[in-house]
Structure 1
Amino acid sequence: MSQDLTAPAKLGPPRAHQSTWGWMRASLFSSPLNTILTVLVAWLLLMSVPALIEWLFIRADFNATSAAECRESGGACWAFIVEKHRFILFGVYPYDEQWRPLLASIILIAVIVCSCVRWFWRPFLGIIWIVSLVAVAVLMWGGVLGMSHVENDRWGGLPLTLILATFGIAFAFPLGLLLALGRRSHMPAVKALCVVYIELIRGVPLISLLFMSSVMLPLFLPEGFSIDKLLRAQIAIILFAAAYVAETVRGGLQAIPKGQYEGADSLGLSYWQQMRKIILPQALKVVIPPLVGIFIALFKDTSLVVIIGIFDLTLAAKTAVADAAWRGFSTEAYLFIAFIYFIFCFSISRYSQSLEKHLRTGEQR
């Protein structure tokens, strides 16, 4: 009985990336139903995109001086945004002092960008954050260095949205870490308090917390004692986000193998040394995507402060549209603020993907 001892043909290395046509066949034309849906969506895009581009850019008016003149073009009235952009971006902040919220916004964006650069991941980054937040508060309030005092009920627009989101993230993250550690604590009282707080806050929508902080909380304060409305809203946002951060970090802590804890114990490290040097770095690496999702949601949820009368970016756009001289251009106004939200949220998302890829590459090495 003879056997064929011919060596098998050598196989080439597996393809690292699927071709474009292969991806299309697998994703868009994998079944008759998917093929029909793909063709239908392509037809809708072919019909709508050219008309949309024509309305947005080709027939748009950037230089009109009145609403009637802008309507004659038949396209988007970006002249309305040109006319109202300072009001939408800065709200009712004094016109001559609007350089201050502009500078405050630049500082906030700059410190966030610095936090995304790995070279700045050093102990002095915390000092940069503290100095930046203090500088933003001084710029917005004024009353020092020759700047006139501006009450925070006149703050508005993009700077206020950035302040609510940045302060919310800056304080909610460490509070969420402590709550996550407390929930996994071996001390029954601490664990019970953290569990009650996390489950209670996660069971209530943010809009309810904002309403309670604005309407209900003042009823329980002593007579003659009050807390600023903006501060109450900021605290509500921090407490709300911290509960979700805590639950996300707790999931990361549970994903760490038990051997890591045992190894840390064998080194004779204290509890806080174990958390800081071994456990938390691994846990946070695991939960980067959901944490970024929470931060993006928090940035978008700042628009909910409109229900308690805080003049954020959304309310500023709504008020600008109500101007009798420029009525009828709400689409342009909301497209403008939607573009602003998209730029920030997309940037955060892309950075998250880049960071996750870098950490994954580091593990493979």
Structure 2
Amino acid sequence: MAKMQQSYVRQEMVQDLPPPPASSGFVGWARRSLFSSISNSILTIVAALFVVWAGYHLFHFFILDAVFVAEDGSACKLKPGACWAFIWDRMDFFIYGFFPKDPYWASTDIFFVSAFMEYWRINVLFVIGLALLVPLLIPSVPGKLINALLFFIPFPILVIVLLNGGWFGLELVPTEKWGGLTVTLIIGLVGIVASLPIGIVLALGRQSKLPAIKTLCVVFIEIWRAVPLITVLFMASVMLPLFVPENMTIDKLLRALIGVALFNSAYMAEVVRGGLQALPRGQYEAASALGLNYWKSMGFIILPQALKHVIPGIVNTFIALFKDTSLVAIVGIFDLLRTVQNAAGNDLNWGAPTTSVTGYIFAAAMFWVFCFSMSRYSMFMERRLETGHKR
């Protein structure tokens, strides 16, 4: 009897069987998420048909019926697709605006001399800016202090010297000739770099115990938040010169930069204030218990934690600021969107029904690349700075 019972005892563990296909993998996910009920199944089928229909027409517009190579808009008139040849032909204008193409000392009958275009000044700034910005954004790269000092002090001076000219034999190029993606990046970077520290100071001032400082910061924040950016740009472009002496002129681009930076600093102040109020009171008491004064406690304990909590809000403000740079077109500044609109509407050589649409699609794609990159980087920093406070 004992031998018979031993024959039915398992001697080795049997591996677990895989889950049924109907409840795991893509099939299981589809049944749970897309076909869990009759209504969900109907909506899934309708959405799938719409995606197929839209994808078919977009594929024809962007690729099959598009014009990639052409000398003018005559070829684009014959096809209903995108006129990518227009984008390629006017790419210099979209990036550099009215910046002089050839140096003032060049001779057009000498190919070697005329090949050295003034565009090299902007290209050098792009290369140096990327070389300084990319290591600054990568946490594992050493030498952050030196890198930050180079990016925030000598680099802006180099930008002014190369773009404006007038020094070291460079041709003087007024800001009216700046344009395209170059101006968009300048306004976006200056607004981002300037609005964050100003916003932090305003947020700290709004929580100050000194009535004068608190009232001043509250009035500043509420006034700027209550006024549309278009009004701010009009005030900076039209009204501001009325309040300065007659013999004093302020550059139009500089006025727009100041208006954009101050406008977004008010919104940044509220984002930072939310992070300061989200911290437990114990953090402030711990800083006081360590014997730290106000500025040391803010710099070493409070602000690092507050800024970490509001990274999504800060980046969201940066993205909104970068997209709002297109509003400077209403005061006569040729940003990326204005150059696309100008080229599509005034260039008779590229007059075609799809020229404007293709230009706007190109501008939207450029804005999407920069905004999406900022969004992905903020998510990366959130994951890196995560300390287990998520619920």
Whether 2:375 is the aligned partner of 1:349: answer yes
Report whether the alignment pairs 1:82 with 2:108. Answer: no
1:1-365 pair list within 5 angstroms: 20=26, 24-25=30-31, 27-29=33-35, 32-96=38-102, 97-118=118-139, 119=141, 122-129=144-151, 130-321=153-344, 322-328=346-352, 329-360=355-386
Deviating more after overlay: 286-295 vs 132-141: 132-141
Contact residue 104 and residue 159 of structure 1 kept, 8 A: no
Q: Is the 8 A contact 1:142 1:148 kept in 2?
A: yes
* Deviation sequence 1:4-41 (CA, Å, 0-9, x none): xxxxxxxxxxxxxx965555555544555544333222
Amino acid paired to 2:326: S
**1-side partners of 2:87 and 2:266: how far apart?**
38
Deviation string 1:239-284 (CA, Å, 9 cap, x unpaired) is 0111111100000001111111111111111111001110000000
CA distance in 1, matches of 2:158, 2:29: 50
1:4 is matched with: none
Deviates more, 1:193-202 or 1:96-105: 96-105
Instruction: Name the residue aligned to 2:109.
Output: none
Between the aligned partners of 2:239 and 2:29, the Cα distance in structure 1 is 55
Partners of 1:257 and 1:77 lie apart in 2 by 57
How far apart, in 2, do the equivalents of 1:360 and 1:22 lie?
32
After TM superposition, the structure 1 stretch with the greater mean CA deviation from structure 2, 190-199 or 75-84, is 75-84
Cα distance, 1:62 vs structure 2: 1.5
Q: Identify if the C-alpha distance between structure 1 residues 282 and 31 changes in structure 2 by more than 3 Å, giving closer, same or farther.
A: farther
Q: Which amino acid aligns with 2:356?
A: S
- The residue that corresponds to 2:113 in the other structure is none
Would you say the 8 A contact 2:136–2:148 is kept in 1? no
Distance 1:199 1:26, change over 3 A: farther
Residues of 2 paired with 1:226 and 1:217: CA distance?
10
Distance in 2, Cα, partners of 1:83 & 1:240: 36
CA distance, structure 2, for counterparts of residue 111 and residue 150 of structure 1: 25
Mapped to 1, the partners of 2:54 and 2:316 lie a distance apart of 31
Equivalent residue, structure 2, for 1:6: none
Secondary structure in 1 aligned to 2:144?
coil
Partner-residue secondary structure (3-state), 2:127: helix
Q: Partners in 2 of 1:237 and 1:51 — Cα distance?
A: 39
- The letter for the 2-side match of 1:123 is L
Unpaired runs of at least 5, structure 1: 1-17
Offset, 1:146: 2.5
Offset at 1:107? 3.2
Please tell me whether the aligned partners of residues 96 and 180 of structure 2 are also in contact (alpha carbons under 8 angstroms): yes
C-alpha root-mean-square deviation of aligned residues, in Å? Answer: 2.0
In structure 2, distance between residues paired with 1:288 and 1:121: 23
State the structure with more CA Rg. 2
Distance change (3 Å), C-alpha of 1:120 and 1:221? farther
Q: Say how many residue pairs are matched.
A: 347
Q: Unaligned regions of 5+ residues in structure 2, if any?
A: 1-23, 103-117
Could you tell which deviates more after superposition, 318-327 or 155-164? 318-327
Q: In 2, Cα distance between the equivalents of 1:120 and 1:203? A: 42
Whole-angstrom distance in 2 between the partners of 1:234 and 1:33:
52
* 8 Å contact kept, 2:136–2:144: no
Cα distance, 1:358 vs. partner? 1.2
Distance 2:160 2:25 in 1: 52
| Between 23-32 and 169-178, the greater mean CA deviation after superposition | 23-32
Letter in 2 for 1:79: A
The aligned amino acid for 1:102 is N
Mapped to 1, the partners of 2:28 and 2:315 lie a distance apart of 31
Distance, in Å, in 2 between the alignment partners of 1:198 and 1:23 is 48
- Amino acid aligned to 1:311: F
Deviation string, structure 1 residues 123-150 (Cα, Å, up to 9, x no partner)? 3243122222221121111122332111
Tell me if the contact between 1:102 and 1:159 (Cα under 8 Å) persists in the aligned partners. no
Distance 1:24 1:204 in 2: 48
Deviations 1:287-307 (A, max 9, x none): 000100110111110000000
Q: TM-score, normalised by structure 1?
A: 0.89
The change in CA–CA distance for 1:275 and 1:71 in structure 2 (over 3 A counts) is same
SS in 2 for 1:222: coil
